[in-house]
Amino acid sequence: MSASLPPATTPDLYRYQNHLFVIGVIALILCAIGAIFNFDQFLHSYLMAYVFWIGVALGSLAILMMQHLTGGAWGLLLRRALESATRTLPAMIILFIPLLFGLHRLYIWTHSAEVAANPLLQHKHAYLNTPFFIIRAAGYFVIWILLIALLNRWSLRQDKTGEPRLALKMQHLSGPGLFILAITLSLALIDWVMSLEPEWYSTMYAVIYMAGDMLAAFAFTIGVIILLADRKPLSDVITPDHFRDLGNLILTFVMLWAYTSFAQFLLIWSGNLRDETPWYLSRTMGGWGWIAGALIVFHFFLPFFMLLGRSNKKNPKRLAVIALIVFFMRLVDVFWLVEPAFHPGNFHLSWMDIIAPIGIGGIWMALFIWFLKSRPILPLQDPYAEETFNHAGD
């Protein structure tokens, strides 16, 4: 059995890759033109899009390390897609640069007059200041790149040599790696998103975001696997039971996202704390409540009840539809989390809120396909490969 995509699929992937890249570049050019006329809105939309797409990459890194820790046949089907998603991170570092030029427009804690007039901002100034913000961001990227480089390098070497010790090395790195990722990603989310409203805080915020990032990563990579499932070598390996397992994974993270989101809401609303409830008020008034309601229905209830049915999970077309709904609603979720910081209690949707995710996403997905094509679609030298193939033949 060949471990790489057969030549017949290569033109398809090239076509998708090239089209996505062109779409992404055109969309970013349109955003750049929009920035000339409304730089603030450009920054708002760009931040929202950036946080969403880097979340897919980092959510994939979390799942990849989780799979190395736990093992299991399901991970072999997703590993190449997860690895390809993580390897887009260097491009995300470059795409982070426009945000650095807009720090003063995005974050109120960069305004010396505001800090001087607000005792709370003065108290947080040792942490929330521009030089330390940039240093922390650089540190996050260095740590993430190191984890990604090691896992991808060892995985490639495993493909070539089949050394059993490489699986152990990836497993041993993934334990502390998950802890380090959780800490750094939590801090990054506090810096990039929660500090948009520096007077508000929540200990659940980063957990909710990470659950959403992993859910988006699952939805995206599962969609990719379904797209390639009828082509060799995946068509020789994948079974309805594999689709069921993947559907169960999406269901698990849909429930985790819903649980953490509701837990934060319940604690803040029942406590009726003056410093915390305004965050929800700004996201439920003036039209934002409709977005919140849509998230409840389409980001939880609809996929939850659809995934309860075994037939839906075993049917790749239905599972692909569910994954697409979840992925899109995650983008809506990030929009709902970010945009009300700039337009509290007054719903606002700019054309750049639509174009910016397309721009960054087009480039991100073009790179993803490029990386996906560069390696065998299945890690045949992995210790769990035999289990996967035996499962396929059952």
Q: Per the domain annotation, does 384 fall within a domain?
A: yes
State residue 65's pLDDT score. 96
Q: Per the domain annotation, does 196 fall within a domain?
A: yes
What domain count does the chain have? 1
- Give the integer Cα–Cα distance in Å for 334 and 303: 18
Which residue range forms the structural domain that includes residue 64? 7-237+351-393
Q: Per the domain annotation, does 388 fall within a domain?
A: yes
166: tokens are 């490489």
DSSP secondary structure of 173-224? HHHHHHHHHHHHHHHHHHHHTGGGSTT---SSHHHHHHHHHHHHHHHHHHHH
Low-confidence ranges of the chain (pLDDT < 50): 1-9, 393-394
pLDDT digits (tens, 9 = 90+) for 223-267: 999 988 888 778 788 888 888 989 999 999 999 999 999 999 988
State residue 1's pLDDT score. 42
DSSP secondary structure of 133-144? HHHHHHHHHHHH
Contact (Cβ atoms closer than 8 angstroms) between residue 376 and residue 84: no
State residue 7's pLDDT score. 42
- Give the integer Cα–Cα distance in Å for 394 and 101: 57
Q: Per the domain annotation, does 257 fall within a domain?
A: no
Question: Using alpha carbons only, what angle is made at residue 101 by residues 95 and 105, rounded to the nearest 5 degrees?
Answer: 120
Within the chain, where are the H helices? 10-37, 39-70, 74-86, 89-95, 97-100, 103-106, 112-117, 119-124, 130-161, 164-192, 205-228, 234-237, 240-271, 277-281, 288-294, 302-308, 310-314, 316-338, 351-373, 385-393
State residue 162's pLDDT score. 81
172: tokens are 């041993």
Q: Per the domain annotation, does 336 fall within a domain?
A: no
Q: Per the domain annotation, does 290 fall within a domain?
A: no
State residue 389's pLDDT score. 58
- Give the integer Cα–Cα distance in Å for 171 and 143: 17
- Give the integer Cα–Cα distance in Å for 356 and 46: 6
Q: Per the domain annotation, does 361 fall within a domain?
A: yes
Contact (Cβ atoms closer than 8 angstroms) between residue 345 and residue 281: yes
Q: Per the domain annotation, does 231 fall within a domain?
A: yes
